[in-house]
């Protein structure tokens, strides 16, 4: 009974056996429980069932519920099914008068105010239409799996739906999430493109967010509620509790027993402790996915520095195997360290992601940047070039690697930091960020600066680099370099920064804690030649990396805040 995959990837033997068994179950349901119907939420699981039903031309109807608040990508999948299989999915919607009455009484988004108001919304938009869809049927099927959530851990292959008086089948109960996606990839089954943006379970738009590392599949559904409350009522009996009434001796009427070995949730073992880095990583991934979901034209700053290298790895965890939903951008002063620029270009090429480079020198040629003297630092002038690039590409969100521990102006900035139409930041007029809810709304010409690792420290960054085995430019490690001592800091000797008269050139072992424009970036004395040694060295320092190495922050106590107000990173 092997499914023909034509030019598609053959299924691995264990999964093929599971598909064979699933197909036998579906055939027997269509013959012994007619008329039967698949209640499809257009999830990945439902698309597996849809594919087999329509490929085998089984006599099982397929319907979906359009609540009026679904994502556009979800609705687009209805048309994709028609295009692929030549089949029209039946669509049931809520009673418009009931919806209008609810909105008039309590408001469109009252669902956030209490579980009871949210469930009342679900009752109107989902449960009542489901009753109409199941009228006259003998059985209905769902794509539920045990591993999806704690509320589904006791899911049976066959149940009796007391609310509707029907047999109810969950044919994928003992499948894993990996099984589902392996099938979809191998047979090129259409799926909701929101899955590529980190949405593992998708419902109504206001009730769904992407999940982060370590969360269960349905953690993004009604995320503000306790896990045991996160069901909509579609699978509840007359008493309001989830229906979990199995067939005789735990066997389904179609003769397929539950296989406990396949019911293990993928990923982290249940109850496994999460480290401090795990929590920081999960938060950052959530923020990146929020940007992808909420913003139309985001971009990620990538300079080749250690913080932006960490951002790239977080983006990989958030969006792979798909492409990043944003390009990379670097504002080049023309005075950057060659080792960092070489690394920047190589890493972007390895990832296969688009890298946009705009230079201060281009702004100087246009006349939008004018230095007082040829030897002046170009670092502050980056703000002009950056705002020009944001305007050129109409970016509405720019993701950066700034952290609160670096400098006091950064310490008081929000994760989603609003910039007005002039690219400026007003530290006294920032948006609230309660319960990790981020407001990304902007008008035309405005944009957000987003800092996913804002809550990280320099130590966290290096521990993550070590854990993920990330490559960084060589100048982060100890090496010998000619320097002079100037204003209490070391200054590298380069053609751009020659020694002043009377300064003594020394050749000593140094490394860079942060990298930027050569004219304002100082190394520190160090013998740390690997990540472990850098971590040990960092643990003993009492000066922030920018305080110890960035000359542009030493001009005044408010130098960073002034630059940020003008549009700086």
Residues β-bridged to residue 416:
450
Record the tokens describing residue 473, joined without a space: 């430019």
Residues in CB range of 251: below 8 A, 6 or more apart: 257
Q: CB neighbours (10 Å) of residue 242?
A: 17
Bin 265: left if φ > 0, else alpha if -120 < ψ < 50, else beta: beta
Total residues belonging to the chain: 569
Q: Rounded CA gap, 238 and 240, in Å?
A: 5
Tell me which residue of 489, 482, 496 sits closest to 522, measured CA to CA.
Answer: 489
**Active-site entry in 121, 122, 207, 232:** 232
Beta strand 506-511 with 328-332 is: unpaired
Segments in 253-337 forming alpha helices (H): 276-294, 306-319
Q: Say if CB 200 and CB 220 are below 8 A apart.
A: yes
Beta strand 139-141 with 36-39 is: parallel
Ordered strands of the 479-486 beta sheet: 489-492, 479-486, 506-511, 524-525
275 phi, psi to nearest 5 deg: -80, 170
Q: Rounded CA gap, 222 and 376, in Å?
A: 54
Q: Say if CB 525 and CB 510 are below 8 A apart.
A: yes
Active site residue 232: yes
**Residue 479 in 3-state DSSP?**
strand
Q: Say if CB 276 and CB 214 are below 8 A apart.
A: no
Extended strands (E) in 286-367: 298-301, 328-332, 355-359
Segments in 135-214 forming alpha helices (H): 177-187
Q: Rounded CA gap, 494 and 491, in Å?
A: 9
Record the tokens describing residue 275, joined without a space: 């480290």
Record the tokens describing residue 49, joined without a space: 């069932």
Peptide bond into 447 cis (omega under 30): no
DSSP string, 103-136: HHHH-TTGGGT-HHHHHHHHIIIIIHHHHHHHTT
Residues in CB range of 352: below 8 A, 6 or more apart: 323
Q: Rounded CA gap, 88 and 569, in Å?
A: 50
Residues designated as active site: 232
């Amino acid at each position: 009974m092997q499914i023909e995959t034509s030019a598609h990837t053959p299924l691995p033997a264990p999964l093929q056996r599971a598909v064979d068994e699933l197909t036998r179950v579906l055939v027997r349901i269509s013959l012994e429980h007619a008329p039967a119907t698949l209640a499809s939420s257009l999830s990945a699981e439902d698309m597996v069932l849809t594919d087999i039903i329509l490929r085998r031309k089984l006599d099982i109807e397929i319907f979906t519920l359009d609540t009026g608040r679904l994502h556009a990508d979800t609705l687009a999948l209805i048309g994709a099914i028609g295009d692929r299989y030549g089949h029209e999915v039946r669509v049931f919607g809520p009673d418009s008068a009931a919806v209008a009455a609810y909105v008039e009484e309590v408001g469109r988004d009252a669902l956030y105010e209490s579980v009871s108001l949210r469930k009342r919304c679900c009752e109107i938009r989902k449960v009542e239409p489901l009753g109409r869809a199941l009228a006259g049927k003998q059985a209905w099927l769902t794509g539920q799996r045990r591993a999806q959530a704690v509320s589904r851990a006791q899911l049976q292959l066959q149940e009796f739906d007391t609310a509707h008086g029907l047999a109810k089948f969950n044919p994928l109960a003992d499948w894993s999430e990996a099984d589902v996606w392996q099938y979809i990839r191998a047979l090129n089954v259409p799926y909701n493109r929101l899955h590529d943006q980190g949405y593992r379970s998708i419902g109504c738009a206001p009730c769904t967010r992407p999940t982060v590392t370590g969360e269960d599949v349905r953690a993004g559904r009604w995320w503000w509620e306790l896990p045991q409350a996160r069901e909509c009522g579609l699978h509840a009996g007359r008493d309001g509790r989830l229906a979990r009434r199995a067939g005789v001796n735990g066997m389904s009427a179609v003769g397929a027993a539950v296989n406990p070995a396949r019911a293990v949730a993928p990923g982290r073992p249940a109850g496994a402790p999460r480290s401090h880095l795990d929590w920081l990583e999960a938060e950052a991934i959530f923020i990146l996915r929020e940007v992808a979901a909420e913003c139309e034209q985001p971009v990620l700053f990538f300079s080749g520095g250690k913080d932006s290298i960490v951002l790239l790895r977080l983006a990989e965890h958030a969006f792979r195997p798909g492409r990043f939903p944003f390009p990379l951008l670097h504002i080049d002063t023309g005075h950057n360290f060659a080792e960092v620029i070489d690394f920047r270009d190589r890493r972007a090429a390895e990832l296969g992601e688009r890298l946009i480079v705009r230079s201060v020198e281009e702004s100087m040629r246009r006349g939008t940047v004018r230095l007082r003297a040829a030897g002046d630092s170009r670092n502050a002038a980056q703000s002009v070039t950056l705002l020009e690039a944001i305007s050129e590409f109409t970016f509405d969100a720019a993701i950066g690697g700034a952290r609160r521990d670096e400098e006091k102006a950064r310490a008081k900035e929000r994760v989603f930091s609003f910039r007005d139409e002039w690219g400026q930041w007003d530290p006294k007029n920032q948006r609230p960020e309660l319960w990790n809810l981020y407001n990304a709304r902007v008008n035309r010409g405005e944009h957000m600066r987003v800092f996913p690792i804002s809550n990280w420290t320099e130590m966290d960054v290096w521990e993550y680099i070590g854990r993920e085995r990330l490559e960084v430019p060589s100048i982060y490690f100890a090496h010998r370099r000619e320097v002079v001592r100037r204003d209490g800091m070391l200054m590298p000797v380069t053609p751009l920064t020659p020694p002043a008269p009377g300064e003594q050139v020394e050749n000593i072992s140094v490394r860079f804690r942060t990298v930027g424009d050569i004219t304002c970036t100082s190394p520190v004395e160090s013998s740390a030649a690997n990540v472990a040694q850098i971590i040990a060295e960092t643990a003993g320092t009492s000066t922030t990396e920018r305080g110890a190495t960035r000359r542009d922050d030493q001009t005044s106590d408010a130098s960073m805040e002034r630059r940020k107000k003008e549009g700086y990173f």
